[in-house]
Amino acid sequence: MTGYRKELALSGDPVAVLSHAKAWLAGLGYRITASSKTTVVAERPVGLLWSTSAQPIFGASPIGIETRYGRLTVTAGFSGIDSLRRFLVRLLVGLAVTLGAVLGVSFALVFEETWPVALGVGLGAGVPLLQLPVHLLFTVPVVRRRAVQSLDTLTENLVRLSE
C-alpha cells in the first residue's frame, strides 16, 4: 500500500482502536481483508467513487491500520482515484470520437460543402478533449486531497477514541 502514510503516538488501548476502525470501515462498505491483534486491512470494491453518500474516503483503498509499540500507523493506496482517472479518460475520449463522428456525418448529409463537415468533426471532438486536461489537472487532485483529509481525520479520531 503506497500513497498515504501517517503515524501518531497512541496512548490508549490498541484493541479499542482496531475495534473502532473495523466497525467504521465495515459500516462504510469496506471489506475487511485481514485482521489480527495489531493490524486491520480493508478494501473497497473498485468502481465509481461517488454514491449517494459521497464519502471522500472512498478514493482510498486498501486502507491498513496498524498498532505497534505505542504508535498508530494508517497507510492507504488510492485505487479509487486511479479508477476515476481511467473512467474520465475513457469517457471523454469516447465522447470525442462519438460526437465527432455523429456531427461529421450529420453535417455531411445536410451541407454540400466540406468545411461544415470539418467544423462538425472539430467541434464534436474538440469540446470533450478540451475538458480532459481540466479534469486530469484539477478534478482528480481535488478528489485525492479530500481523500487524504478524510484519512487524516480517521487517524486523529482513532487516537482520540482510544484514550
Whether residues 24 and 10 share a domain: the answer is yes
- Judge whether 95 lies within some domain: yes
Give per-residue pLDDT as tens, 43-79. 987 665 555 556 788 888 899 999 988 899 999 999 8
Whether residues 23 and 75 share a domain: the answer is yes
Whether residues 75 and 123 share a domain: the answer is no
Band (pLDDT 50/70/90 cuts) for residue 6 is: very high
pLDDT on residue 60: 87
Whether residues 59 and 87 share a domain: the answer is no
The span from the CA of 54 to the CA of 32, in Å, is 21
**What is the average pLDDT value for the chain, to the nearest integer?**
88
pLDDT on residue 53: 58
Give per-residue pLDDT as tens, 124-161. 999 999 999 999 999 889 989 999 999 999 999 988 88
Whether residues 86 and 76 share a domain: the answer is no
- Judge whether 163 lies within some domain: no
Q: How many domains does the chain have?
A: 2
Whether residues 76 and 13 share a domain: the answer is yes
CATH number at residue 67: 3.30.310
Task: Answer whether 76's CB lies under 8 Å from 4's CB.
Answer: yes
- Report the chain's C-alpha Rg in angstroms: 23
Give per-residue pLDDT as tens, 75-132. 999 988 888 899 999 999 999 999 999 999 999 888 888 888 889 899 999 999 999 9
Give per-residue pLDDT as tens, 32-43. 999 999 999 999
- Judge whether 21 lies within some domain: yes
Task: Answer whether 36's CB lies under 8 Å from 21's CB.
Answer: no
Helix (H) or strand (E) holding 142: helix 140-162
- Judge whether 73 lies within some domain: yes
Provide the residue type at 127 as one letter: V
Whether residues 8 and 76 share a domain: the answer is yes
Band (pLDDT 50/70/90 cuts) for residue 1 is: very low
Nearest C-alpha neighbor of 150 from the set 63, 47, 31: 63
- Judge whether 62 lies within some domain: yes
Whether residues 8 and 73 share a domain: the answer is yes
Whether residues 23 and 52 share a domain: the answer is yes
The span from the CA of 90 to the CA of 80, in Å, is 15
* Cα–Cα distances in angstroms (integers) from residue 26 to residues 19, 30, 41, 76, in the given order: 11, 5, 11, 16
- Judge whether 35 lies within some domain: yes
- Judge whether 127 lies within some domain: yes
Whether residues 121 and 56 share a domain: the answer is no
For residue 60, the enclosing domain spans 4-80+148-155
Backbone angles phi, psi at 51, to 5 degrees: -115, -165
Whether residues 17 and 76 share a domain: the answer is yes
- Judge whether 87 lies within some domain: yes
